[in-house]
Chain A
């Protein structure tokens, strides 16, 4: 178990280094000059040179990459070219929005997916199943930003139930959570639709197993058979997909964060990429890739809890 963990962590670490290298190189070979974007087109050549110098752009890219890497080992992500502040200081507050948003959306999508998927599997081929599967197809086809628009129109503008369009900051305490509800709903519905299909498919697999027949023959109630015996092992493939969904949510809510004006990682990503802010992009990519690798590892570890037959070597 410990050896397995160490191996996985080392693997994840090397993957991160490789990803950061690829991103760094590709951002450096592309046309577009960070210094020019910082000073603007009308700046004097003197000022331009000075900015280039302070940004360290005079050095060849491999020197800049190795110094970035050295900083990383000391917990220093460098300084953003666009905001002129340490990358860590910028990522922190953004993570403070994107992480709760991701958790809320993830929980909502599971709350949709597990009961609906279970119902559809239990009554496979019946009208209920057809209805749930039909709805999930529609959920999969709806672009999340269009869903965001419709939710704002209906729940915010027409009914005035929930606020939308900005974020007051966590100084408002838990009241700020209300501002995350509509964005997480627009993220959760397509993902819930996707996961509901996974739950149904996985359950159909386990419902045919011999031990389910045994459980039924013992006279257990149908609910108990479904929840305790069929669902638990069925969750294993679902958790793999759910892990990917959650990992991608953290830095992948670019469109929804832009629609709702939430200053999270996704909004930051758009700004950083457009400004060719290489240190900030690097930091964001590390967070995105790191969270995905971390969630994948957690998902793999959870299998042992769900299926006693699985052991780690």
Chain B
């Protein structure tokens, strides 16, 4: 039990995955059906999370929103991670002006408020799931880019890479067989934590009305819709938020735990 973060993170993430799988195929009530019970029914045996202002079942909506949220986070981290890694490696190759310019651009993205960036992008592309994926993907790019570039620059000087080069291995071969396997650990750690941040960002964008469109449930959107009535029906806010926290916490802890597990330097320090 030395790596507490890893095990708690794994547990939280498995529950989240199970919830997302269940939410994709089954919910106690139709998440879109109004008047499953009187509006604003407090939590009860038949409606553990209560009902909202239309009498829709909050638990069903939370479940149905899970696969959407997870799908958006995974896709955006995949897109941002692959683009970022590719750009980072590229800027490592090009040590001259272009590499410098590329890493400046990555730093520029990094210094911007992420939500403002996403706001601009979603307006350019129009609201909806696709734009949200791209927007969150975009602000993931520099994080992966930096890691990949740093690894590349570090390994370029190492003896085993020079040995490979002396055998006539090209840049592409060196990247694929030497740099990527060595960078995989940090990249996987980054991706895991990025999933949590992506979930939070998706919720924020949906809360602003730019993400998942009604009547489809999303955790962020449920909070926005509950805003007007949350004094009468706090459960419409509390439960979607708690589920979101659970999922984000899981990814963050898993990321931390993996870091301790995969980074030998950190392990020694503990």
Contact = CB atoms under 8 A, between A and B. Distances in A.
A293 B111 contact: yes
A15 B108 contact: yes
B241 A149 contact: yes
A157 B124 contact: no
Interface in B224-253: 227, 230-231, 234, 237-238, 241, 244-245, 248-249, 252-253
Contact of A143 (B123, B241, B269): B241
A279 to B, nearest CB: 15
Contact of A23 (B4, B120, B203, B237): B120
Contacts of B237: 146, 149-150, 153
B115 A141 contact: no
A23 B116 CA distance: 12
B208 interface: yes
Interface in B91-122: 108, 111-116, 119-120
Nearest to A250: B113
B131 to A, nearest CB: 11
Contact of B123 (A30, A149, A251, A258): A30
A145 B112 contact: no
Interface of A: 15, 18-19, 23, 26-27, 30-32, 125, 130, 137-138, 140-143, 145-146, 149-150, 153, 157, 204, 244, 247-248, 251-252, 254-255, 258-259, 269-270, 273-274, 276, 281, 284-285, 288-289, 292-293, 296
Contacts, number: 115
Nearest to A289: B112
The DSSP consensus for interface residues of chain A is: helix
A145 B245 contact: no
B207 interface: yes
Best-surrounded residue of A254, A281, A284 (most CB of chain B within 10 A): A254
Nearest to B203: A143
A255 B208 contact: yes
Nearest to A284: B116
B80 to A, nearest CB: 18
22 contacts: A18-B108, A19-B108, A125-B270, A130-B4, A140-B252, A142-B245, A143-B203, A143-B220, A145-B223, A149-B227, A150-B237, A150-B241, A153-B231, A244-B111, A247-B113, A248-B113, A254-B115, A269-B116, A270-B208, A288-B112, A292-B112, A293-B111
Contacts of B198: none
B114 A137 contact: no
Interface residues of B, number: 39
Contacts of A204: 269
A254 B111 contact: no
B200 interface: yes
Given A23-B120, A252-B114, A145 B196 contact: no
B245 A292 contact: no
Contacts of B108: 15, 18-19
Given A143-B203, A143-B204, A143-B245, A149 B120 contact: no
Contacts of A293: 111
B124 A252 contact: no
A266 to B, nearest CB: 8
Contacts of A153: 230-231, 234, 237
B73 to A, nearest CB: 13
A158 B248 CA distance: 28
- Of the candidates A146, A153, A157, A252, the one having the most CB atoms from chain B within 10 angstroms of its own CB is A146
Given A140-B248, A143-B244, A281-B120, 15 more contacts: A18-B108, A130-B4, A137-B249, A137-B252, A141-B196, A141-B245, A143-B223, A143-B245, A149-B237, A251-B116, A252-B114, A252-B116, A273-B123, A292-B111, A292-B113
Sort A-B residue pairs by CB-CB distance and give the 7 closest, nearest first.
A252-B113, A146-B241, A141-B248, A141-B249, A248-B113, A30-B124, A273-B123
Interface of B: 4-5, 108, 111-116, 119-120, 123-126, 196, 200, 203-204, 207-208, 220, 223, 227, 230-231, 234, 237-238, 241, 244-245, 248-249, 252-253, 256, 269-270
A272 B115 CA distance: 14
A146 B120 contact: no
A146 B113 CA distance: 19
B124 A138 contact: no
A273 B220 CA distance: 20
Given A137-B249, A141-B245, A254 B119 contact: yes
A259 B108 CA distance: 28
A248 B114 CA distance: 8
A116 B269 CA distance: 20
Contacts of A142: 241, 245
Contacts of A149: 223, 227, 230, 237, 241
B11 to A, nearest CB: 14
Given A137-B252, A141-B252, A153-B230, A288 B116 contact: yes
B124 A27 contact: yes
Nearest to B256: A137
Contact of B207 (A18, A30, A145, A248): A145
Contacts of B124: 26-27, 30
Contacts of A150: 237-238, 241
Contacts of A15: 108
Contact of B244 (A18, A31, A146): A146
B112 A143 contact: no
Contacts of B115: 252, 254-255
